[in-house]
Amino acid sequence: MRDEVRAWALQARGFLAESEGMALYRLAAEASRRGPVVEIGSYCGKSALFLGEGCRSAGANPTFTVDHHRGNEEQRPGGPYFDPEMWDAETGTPRTLAELVGNIRHVGLEDWVVPVVGEATVVGRALPAGKLGLVFIDGGHSAADVAADVATWAPRIGRGGYLCMHDVYPDPADGGQAPLQAFTALRAERKWRFVELTGSLGVLQRR
Ligand code: MG
């Protein structure tokens, strides 16, 4: 990974440890040779820069990063991850899309990180099954949101492709349990092989 891209990604707004970012970079470099990479939940693009740089290094498919850019409950005023600098009080909307595009341009990854603005379930339903190289689920963290993202996107991953899920916390003291519960249920399915848990990044591979 280029040093300047890693440095920019690390200072970008968002919630991702360096070890998790480097795991995404490594997995995207491998998986993007097999099919496109999709991220659910762009926010300001911190993780998308790691994924996109992985895609760039392989030179095959890009990362599509999907977000409605209305902010999820946690990021809206009163939520635990509300950032006033990322909020336009006049319009009552986040500034995350402009920040995302700016971060992609800053590191020259325009051909490798493609923002998609919309509901992840709407976007996913329009795509064929079994074609994606990697899906990284990091959207809304309620049980309903996680379940909808898994139901929509898991079938779209091809053989040998990866399903990555963020904020998988085995200890409830560390965070909400919806991602862990969804991850554990998938892991018990025959078609998924457990690969790793790096920080709170859980990774499964489709057999
Ligand atoms: Mg997250």
Q: How high is the mean pLDDT of the chain?
A: 96
Q: How far is the CA of 141 from the centre of ligand 1 (A)?
A: 8
Distance CA(81)–CA(158), nearest Å, equals 33
Catalytically annotated residue among 68, 69, 141, 166: 141
Q: What is the DSSP letter of 60?
A: S
Which of 47-51, 88-92, 174-178 bottoms out in mean pLDDT, i.e. has the lowest?
88-92
Q: How far is the CA of 3 from the centre of ligand 1 (A)?
A: 23
Asked if 131 and 156 count as a contact pair (C-beta separation under 8 A), the reply is yes
- The pTM score is 0.96
Asked if 153 and 64 count as a contact pair (C-beta separation under 8 A), the reply is no
Mean pLDDT of 132-157: 97
Tens-digit pLDDT profile for residues 32-76:
999 999 999 999 999 999 999 999 999 999 999 999 999 888 888
What's the pLDDT at 34? Answer: 97
Taking the CA atoms of residue 119, residue 89, residue 99 and residue 147 in that order, the dihedral angle to the nearest 10 degrees is -30
Distance CA(95)–CA(19), nearest Å, equals 27
Helix (H) or strand (E) holding 133: strand 132-137
Q: How far is the CA of 91 from the centre of ligand 1 (A)?
A: 25
Q: How far is CA 46 from CA 20, 43, 52, 99, 194, in A?
A: 11, 8, 10, 10, 25
Confidence of residue 101 (pLDDT cuts 50, 70, 90): very high
Q: Is 68 annotated as catalytic?
A: no
Q: How far is the CA of 108 from the centre of ligand 1 (A)?
A: 24
Q: Which neighbouring-strand residues pair with 40?
A: 66, 137
Q: How far is the CA of 206 from the centre of ligand 1 (A)?
A: 22
Q: How far is the CA of 15 from the centre of ligand 1 (A)?
A: 6
Mean pLDDT of 133-155: 97
Ligand 1 (ion): which residues have CB within 5 A? 15, 138, 166-167
Tens-digit pLDDT profile for residues 21-33:
999 999 999 999 9
Distance CA(108)–CA(96), nearest Å, equals 18
What's the pLDDT at 73? Answer: 83
Percent of all residues in the chain with a pLDDT value above 70, rounded to a whole number: 100
Q: Which residue has the tokens 């300047």?
A: 4
What's the pLDDT at 81? Answer: 87
